[in-house]
Structure formats: C-alpha cells, structure tokens
A = this chain, B = another copy of it.
C-alpha cells in the first residue's frame, strides 16, 4: 500500500506555509517530511536545544515562541502531548487560519479547542504511526509517509477546511486520510493502540516477577520481544494517551480482562487443549486477515455522510479533487 514517492505530487495550493508546534517524534517527523515536500515550515518547541537542532534541518525555520511560529501560517499543527495542549492554544489566541493536530485522543482535544481562545478553523487529526523511540532525535521524514491519518469530521466541521488539510496530507505525504468522528476514532484507537500499550506493560512486568525471572528473561525470544516492544515507550507519554482516552479504553480493557478470565477458566477446566483451541480462534481469524488488501479506487462525493460511511467500512481517501466535490476512495477488499 505504501507506494507513495515523496515529492512526486504537488502539495496543496491552499496550504503553502505550515507551523508545527512541538518537535517530538511525530512533530519532528512531520516538519522534516513537509520541508522535504517543499512546504514552508516554521517549527517551535519549548526546549531550546531541540530548536537548535531543528534549525540545522534544510528547509526548516524555527521560531522562539508559538505566536511567532504561527505568524503568516496557513495551517498550524499542534504536535505536543495532551497535557501541554492548553498552553499551546493560549499562545495561538488570535490566529485565524487552519488548525489541526496529531494528538492521539480526539474527543478530549476537541473539547480543549472548544473551551480555549478562538484559534482558527479546527480539523482534528491523528496519524497512525509511531515508534518506541521518542523525541526529535528519533524523528524520521519517512515515518508518516503513506500512513493512515484520521481526519475528524463532525457536524460543525467546515468541509473546505477538511478538504484543504486532506489535500495537503495526501499530496505531500501520501497519507491515507480516514474520515471519522472523534468518538469513533477514540473507540477504535482504544482497541488497536492504547490496549496494546497496556497489555505490553503487563507482559513485560510478568517477566520481571516470579521465582525464575532471571532465567525467564534469558529464555525470552520472539514472542516476548514483539509482545513487549511498546512497553519500552516512555511511561509518561503512554499514560497521557491512555489516561486521556480513559472513557473509551476502560470498556475495551474490561472486555479483554473478561476474555482472559475465560481463558483461565478453560485452562483449569476438564479438557483445556480443545477448549483453548476454540477460544484462540477468534483472535486468529482477525490476525490472519490483517492487514486487508486494498480494493480498486473509486470516487465518493465530499459529503459528511458518504465520507463517514467510508471510514466506518474501513476505507480511506487518497486524493481530493481540486474543486472539493469528490474524493478518490479505497476500501479493504472484502474477498
């Protein structure tokens, strides 16, 4: 799926000048990637040492504060962890352009924007890419190329703003733009991003406790390595995204706990091997069919209902027409 060639398509005509606020892994990777796509990028980070290193990246300008970065921007991207968002929004007071973000929790982010000062036309977003590394030094312009990128569509979202951001992301980064409401996004990522982080931490801790823990860690191989990879992410970053999405994560976690308790009961029951075989099948079927192949591209109208229905079927937008009338859509092949 990821066949986009960086630089092969012109970025959006609406968005020529982007401010990226926050130069961690995602903000740093985005700033790099947009600069490489010949978008004018001005970046800001609260850390002076990070600003110094960012200033050395070709095509990247650096501003000493949020307002300075936003001055003259067509689009401001908020790329700080959730607990730091309110301060950034305060610094954007009076900004009148497009506003988006990369924060992994969308309902909470939307509430912060609504409650904050007037800061332009907001379209919530979340690129589905990451790494167990963090910070600007781990930034990589290829990290975000071709990734699924949720672009929130609510009743009050301005469609021209949605189209402008979608055109930039598809054009400059080859993103697969997935239309979804904030609530739909939060329910989905609770299951495929936040729950994996919580389970990985529990699994890593299990190898550190018990009577045979030094032996266990020496015997640990591929299943432990992959199952715990994201447990190596900074705990405060994981807690910010999981805690910020607690309303959606808690039911998913309760479901997983109930499912694991069922496995425990089967293991202590009369015929554990056939019983557990049946229990394992549901997860096996999901994993064996993932990732799904992509179907043939087709056109959908730029209308909220049609776009949200596309997102609910697991589909995405690969391009927006110059007139904002239609989008090129792809969805998983049902075969």
Interface, chain A (partner B; CB < 8 A): 83, 128-131, 147-148, 150, 176, 178, 180, 184-185, 187-189, 191-193, 195-224, 226-236, 238-240, 242-244, 246, 249-250, 252-257, 259-261, 263-264, 267-268, 272-288, 290-292, 311-316, 332
B188–A215 contact, CB under 8 A? yes
Q: Is the interface of A mostly helix, strand, loop or mixed?
A: helix
- The interface residues of chain B lying within 8 Å CB-to-CB of A150 are 219
Q: Would you call A212 and B188 a contact (CB within 8 A)? A: yes
**Contact across chains for B184 and A215 when beta carbons are under 8 A apart:** yes
The answer for the CA separation of A220 and B220 in the assembled complex, in Å, is 25
Q: Closest approach, in angstroms, between the C-beta of A289 and any C-beta of chain B?
A: 8
CA–CA, A205 and B129, complex, Å = 21
Which of B239, B278, B282, B316 is within 8 Å of A280, CB to CB? B239
Which B residue sits closest to A131, measured CB to CB? B222
Which residues of the partner chain B approach A332 to less than 8 Å between Cβ atoms? Answer: 214, 217-218
Please tell me if the beta carbons of A260 and B267 are within 8 angstroms of each other in the complex: no
Docked Cα-Cα span, A277 to B238, in Å, equals 8
Which B residues are in CB contact (< 8 Å) with A232?
284, 287-288
Among B219, B235, B240, B285, contact of A128 (Cβ-Cβ < 8 Å): B219
* A286-B205 contact, Cβ under 8 Å, with A193-B223, A277-B235: yes
User: For the complex formed by this chain, how many copies does it contain in all?
Assistant: 2
In the docked arrangement, what's the CA distance between A192 and B205, Å?
Answer: 10
Residue of B nearest to A244 (CB): B273
Q: Please give 4 more A-B residue pairs, beta carbons under 8 A apart, in addition to A148-B221, A228-B290.
A: A128-B221, A192-B217, A210-B252, A222-B230
When the two chains form their complex, are residues B204 and A283 in contact, meaning their CB atoms are under 8 A apart? yes
Bound CA–CA A155/B279 (angstroms):
38
* Also in contact, A314 and B218, with CB within 8 A (given A207-B286, A259-B202): yes
Are B244 and A253 in contact (CB-based, < 8 A)? no
Separation of A207 and B282 alpha carbons in the complex (Å) = 10
How far is it, in angstroms, between the C-alpha of A211 and the C-alpha of B291 when the chains are bound?
Answer: 19
Listed A/B pairs (24) with beta-carbon separation below 8 Å: A148-B221, A184-B215, A187-B210, A192-B223, A192-B224, A193-B223, A198-B260, A204-B286, A205-B286, A208-B285, A210-B252, A215-B311, A215-B314, A217-B292, A218-B292, A226-B229, A227-B227, A231-B284, A232-B288, A235-B276, A238-B276, A239-B274, A239-B276, A257-B257
